[in-house]
Amino acid sequence: MKTSTLSQFLSSVTDKSSPHCVRTSDIIMTIALAGKMISRQVREVWLDGMVGETGETNVHGEQVKKLDEFANEVFVELFRRNGLVGTLISEEMGEPVQVGGDELAEEFLLTYDPLDGSSNIDVNVTIGSIFGLYRLPKDEPSANLLLQPGKNLIACGYALYGPSTNFVFWSPNTSVCGFIADMSIGEFRLTDENIKIPDESSIYSVNEANYPNWDKATQEVVDYLRVGRKESSTRYIGSLVGDFHRNMLKGGVYLYPGTVANPEGKIRLMYEAAPLARLAVAAGGKAIDGQQDLLEIVPDSPHHTCPTIIGSSKVVDEIREIYTKSKK
């Protein structure tokens, strides 16, 4: 076999003398398994009668799709069975859920969006599952223990369900690495060991229909991206994980700013913005909420939202400058 599988790759980068390192790799393998199971269901969604909504509304007031519910259950079931992590925080569950395990599991918090871009499920457009893994301080129990900023992530990544299924992750023992599912052998195979985001790009990804609802600074930012730069092009599919993946490989910046009525925007910090921000930073990109580094933001609840700007470093720097000048 020319390329290594995910399990071979993880085995080669795991310090077997460190229980935390071994546990992190086992958790990543479980998430990859969840990705394969969800990918299978995404591809069969029409055949299995899984299109449409469950009739329930989630904590964000959104209609839950049948596939959202399925994907969430896959994560819960796998981690309940193997007990590798103590707590799960999911977009689809109002409260954190305890699932572990042994003493070591108590130190691990897994946050995830089981199916990002769910409005694209029924139209066969790329969607994905995003995850963030945090190690909780053992000796400092506090009521806010679970509310960790992105800078404390110890691993993060996503599975992407497009024409093929990708698995991308970062951990302290690796760079940002990418895998593609080889369904004939049921394994992810390594495609890129060191993904880097181009520093510069003409691509920006934003829902420009929100323009009238933005404050002046955000309007200035998007005007600059559209006409103030040498070249410009828009790419936006409405699945953050899909837009992020394209921008990471080709260069580009994703923006979901707040509006005047809702300044904190809609992207959830703990399982959408922070994991992708950490990946971007590890790949040489940047992530901000306007002026502040996104990884510094401490959530005030598991479902905290924040304005999100992630992508090519030079473009993010220019955006920050516009916000900084305009807020003076």
Site residues for ligand AFP per CB under 6 A: 62, 91, 113, 116-119, 207, 238-240, 266-267
Residue closer to ligand AFP by CB (options 86, 285) is 285
Residue closer to ligand AFP by CB (options 207, 324) is 207
Q: Which two tokens stand for residue 95?
A: 């409260």
Please, what is the minimum distance in Å from the beta carbon of residue 124 to ligand AFP?
15
Q: Which two tokens stand for residue 255?
A: 């923006």
CA distances, 248 to each of 153, 209, 265, 276, 294 (Å): 19, 24, 22, 10, 17
Please, what is the minimum distance in Å from the beta carbon of residue 275 to ligand AFP?
13
Which helix (H) or strand (E) segment is 177 a member of? strand 177-182
Please, what is the minimum distance in Å from the beta carbon of residue 111 to ligand AFP?
13
Cα 197 versus chain centre, distance: 16
Residue closer to ligand AFP by CB (options 100, 257) is 257
Residue closer to ligand AFP by CB (options 238, 263) is 238
Residue closer to ligand AFP by CB (options 25, 72) is 72
Residue closer to ligand AFP by CB (options 238, 284) is 238
Please, what is the minimum distance in Å from the beta carbon of residue 299 to ligand AFP?
16
Please, what is the minimum distance in Å from the beta carbon of residue 188 to ligand AFP?
23
Greatest extent of the chain over all pairs of C-alpha atoms, in Å: 58
Please, what is the minimum distance in Å from the beta carbon of residue 117 to ligand AFP?
5
* Whether the Cβ atoms of residue 159 and residue 38 lie closer than 8 Å to each other: yes
Residue closer to ligand AFP by CB (options 126, 171) is 126
Residue closer to ligand AFP by CB (options 84, 319) is 319
Please, what is the minimum distance in Å from the beta carbon of residue 105 to ligand AFP?
26
Cα 296 versus chain centre, distance: 16
Report the side by side order of strands in the sheet with 177-182: 97-98, 87-90, 108-116, 127-135, 153-161, 165-170, 177-182, 187-192
Say how far apart CA 132 and CA 148 lie, in whole Å: 11
Say how far apart CA 190 and CA 179 lie, in whole Å: 4
Residue at 224: amino acid letter = Y
Residue closer to ligand AFP by CB (options 107, 116) is 116
Say how far apart CA 186 and CA 142 lie, in whole Å: 42
Q: Which two tokens stand for residue 165?
A: 């299924």
Please, what is the minimum distance in Å from the beta carbon of residue 43 to ligand AFP?
18
Say how far apart CA 148 and CA 100 lie, in whole Å: 19
HSE-CB of 117 using CA atoms within 13 angstroms: 27
Please, what is the minimum distance in Å from the beta carbon of residue 155 to ligand AFP?
20
SS3 call for 289: coil
